[in-house]
Amino acid sequence: MAASRPRSRNASQSPMLGLAQAALEDMKAVNIKVLDVRGLTDIADTLIIASGNSDRHVRSIADRVIQAAKASGHRPYGVEGARDGEWALVDLHDIIVHVMLPRVREFYGLETLWAQPEASAAPAAKKTAAKKKAPARKKAPVARSAAGPKGAGRRPAARKPKAKT
């Protein structure tokens, strides 16, 4: 059994969260979203999703987040995709930072994937789904004869061999 990571009690008060957000804002990251995913997964408490304007900008933003973490004495667990520049992921223990190009961000839709369902929207969604279900229809039996379709199953008449003359 794998050892679990030490968990912070309140991710919103984490100093690393403030450092990561400051690094993103310092590098002019676009559309920064902070998602609390404590009830959805055990891999992290918080996801930060941000966009860069170009692949070089994405790499620079990820590098600044890494530098800020190291300066505060926290070494990132891992960094993925920083070389390509379309999508960079920085794992800061309980915080995972995703920096990506806008087209990549739109394609994967991480905000909708990790969004927590609202308590009031869940029952309403179930009611509308129940209304949309159509009653099951019985299929009409297909009449089939024992011989099958016309001419099916019949062998052609055997030909008599021609006599040799």
- Alpha-carbon distance of 105 to 100, in angstroms, equals 6
Record the pTM. Answer: 0.63
**3-class secondary structure, 63:** helix
Query: What is the pLDDT, as a whole number, of residue 164?
Result: 72
Neighbours of 111 (CB within 10 A): 14
CA dihedral 85, 73, 36, 62 (to 10 degrees): -10
Q: Give the model confidence (pLDDT) of 60-87 as tens digits.
A: 999 999 999 999 988 888 888 878 888 8
Residue type, 43: I
Q: Domain ranges for the chain, please list them.
A: 12-113
At the top level of CATH, which class does the domain 12-113 belong to?
A: alpha beta
Name the band, by pLDDT with cuts 50, 70 and 90, for residue 126.
low
> Residue 92 corresponds to which tokens in the numbers above?
């800061």
Average pLDDT value for the chain: 75
69/6: higher pLDDT: 69
